[in-house]
Amino acid sequence: MKTEPSDWSLLRSFLAVVRRGSLSAAARATGLTQPTVGRHIDELEAGLGVALFTRSQAGLLPTEAATALLPHAEAMEAAFAALVRTARTGGDARQPRGVVRISASEIVGTFVLPAIFADIRRRFPDIVIELVLNNRTDDLLRRDADIAVRMVRPVQDGLVARRLGSIPLGLYAHRDYIDRYGLPETIEELAAHHIIGFDRDDHSARSVASSQLPISRELFSYRTDSDVAQVTAIEAGLGIGGMQTAMAKRNPALLPVLPDQITFELDCWLAAHQDQKDSPPIRAMFDGLAEGLGRWIGGGRQ
């Protein structure tokens, strides 16, 4: 006789196996033993009356039934996390406290957010900040973060998002580089210069793709998939590369390259879980980030 599963730990193990692909990896992720995770899956399958995984050389593969159940399990996970975080605030909205996890790109998280976090910390000292640097779009519904700073519009259901504006970017080079190689006057002349760009991951480049400047790996004489490494290479005089205008303005040794011919923009969005937007620490962090990033975006347009 089937019985409805009522133990959250069963669903927690289910989600871990779906995401990790094996019992052993799921056990490491949850801090449980492998036999315990296996028992949870057996109990869940027995309670639901369906098979959730099939074995393959690649590990455990979710069945159609598991795929259909996944969004509901993730919604329950999000709701449980919201319950825990609400409890941690103690119900005192006047002094938010708790852990808030933020996901941001490598550049924004390294060069932009620390000063904004410092301002938020002065106002809300009881909020613990966790920062995840990731140039990919994290799925908030899978608990990668509570708040995400994104350069593309979030499309997942269950999220609340706010567009903060467009971040201007351009090509820049250090004075030392220009003294050695000169300043290109046309887009065609860029081919004779040392250009800094991606190696194997063109995700960031595709975000700012422009007909003004066809972007391909062969264009670059210095290649790295780290956006931070690209910026430091520009600042070291290694070549010409793209960076946020507001960041370039911080360094008087950086000069714009072809500013009237090549410009880029990235939309900046803040996103959070719909069911957590009213949590005091998350609301305080969300509003603080919106205010700070709004100032940053405005500074890049001055």
Kind of pairing between the strands at 147-150 and 264-273: antiparallel
CATH of the domain at 62: 1.10.10.10
Does residue 246 lie within any of the structural domains?
Answer: yes
Rounded to 5 degrees, what are φ and ψ at 5? -70, 130
Residues 49-68 pLDDT 10s: 899 999 887 788 999 999 98
Instruction: Please provide the average confidence, as pLDDT, over all residues in the chain.
Output: 84
Does residue 291 lie within any of the structural domains?
Answer: no
Does residue 145 lie within any of the structural domains?
Answer: no
238 residue type, one letter: L
Residue 244, strand partner residues: 169
Find the range with the poorest average confidence among 112-126, 130-144, 161-175.
Answer: 130-144
CATH of the domain at 257: 3.40.190.10
Cβ neighbours of 230 (radius 10 Å) = 25
Which residues lie below 8 Å from residue 297, measured CB to CB, with a gap of 6+? 164, 165, 166, 167, 246, 268
pLDDT at 212: 56
What does the pLDDT average to over 98-106? 90
Domain range for 55: 8-73
Rounded to 5 degrees, what are φ and ψ at 200? -115, -20
Final residue in a domain of this structure, among 73, 88, 105: 73
Residue 267 or 200, more confident: 267
Q: How confident is the model at residue 211 (pLDDT cuts 50, 70, 90)?
A: very low
Residues 225-259 pLDDT 10s: 899 999 999 999 999 999 999 999 999 999 999 99
Final residue in a domain of this structure, among 54, 73, 92: 73
Does residue 67 lie within any of the structural domains?
Answer: yes
Q: How confident is the model at residue 146 (pLDDT cuts 50, 70, 90)?
A: confident
Burial of 53 (0-12, 13-18, 19+ CB in 10 A): buried
Work out how many domains the chain is built from and give that number: 2
Residue 294 has pLDDT above 80, yes or no: yes
Does residue 211 lie within any of the structural domains?
Answer: yes
